[in-house]
Amino acid sequence: MQSCLHRTRFDLPTDLTLQPLIDHFEHYMPLSDHEKHLLEGRVVQRPVKRRQAILQEGFPCKHYSFVVKGCFRLFAVDKKGTEHNLQFAAENDRPAARWIADIGSFHSGQPSGLFIVAIEPSVILQIAQQDLYFLYTNIPKLDRIFKVIIENNYVELQNRVLQSISSTAQERYTTFLGQYPNLALRLPNTQIASYLGITPEFLSKIRKDLAS
């Protein structure tokens, strides 16, 4: 697995701007020209190769990452070396699913117990902790926007825990399709099965049953 990305500020390439991020925030609230200017000075763009890590276990999570293009997964590895997917983030999914981070590590500065790795060649916009706190202070509406995003993700996680103890695998897969409507055809069975807590073979059977 390739090493984590180190933060070095540089100008955004002319072929890709902050517009996807601005559009994303304006899904919640409009931004003034001054607020957009403040935002531009606090965001870093990065290309990420397939299978490249932007977070590794044992390192603190230093950025919130917004997916402009591509797909990522957040996962843990147990003592047997088995990977357990906790979250996906991709460019064409619902707004809250375009952000990925270990939120606990990000705010505490403690080493993460998780990995974040690109499933596809990707482009992300990253905001470091000190820059996010600056934006919270100087663009208060962003503070409110992030609270909504985090609350939505918390509700989703809570529902997922409840489903894991009360729903069938087929019901969990149906919920997955609702949460990540554009990913079912992009992700291999192994990644979806890891998220659902089942084997790839059982997932194939579920798909065949639903198709019939």
Cα–Cα distance measured from residue 70 to residue 175, given in angstroms and rounded to the nearest whole number? 22
Whether residue 10 has pLDDT greater than 70 = no
Cα–Cα distance measured from residue 167 to residue 109, given in angstroms and rounded to the nearest whole number? 35
Domain regions of the chain by residue span: 19-165, 167-212
Q: How many CA atoms lie within 13 A of 121 on its CB side?
A: 0
The predicted structure's pLDDT at residue 153 = 87
User: Average pLDDT, stretch 65-70?
Assistant: 96
Question: 200: which 2 tokens?
Answer: 């790839």
Confidence of residue 4 (pLDDT cuts 50, 70, 90): very low
The predicted structure's pLDDT at residue 59 = 98
What's the pLDDT tens digit per position in 95-123?
778 999 999 999 999 999 999 999 999 99
Domain with residues 19-165, CATH architecture: Sandwich (2.60)
The total of other beta-carbon atoms located within 10 Å of residue 116's CB is: 26
Averaged pLDDT of the chain: 89
Cα–Cα distance measured from residue 133 to residue 29, given in angstroms and rounded to the nearest whole number? 19
What's the pLDDT tens digit per position in 134-184?
999 999 999 999 999 999 888 988 988 888 889 999 999 999 988 888 888
Quick one: what percent of the chain has pLDDT higher than 70? Answer: 92
DSSP 1: -
CA 29, 32, 34, 39 dihedral sign is positive
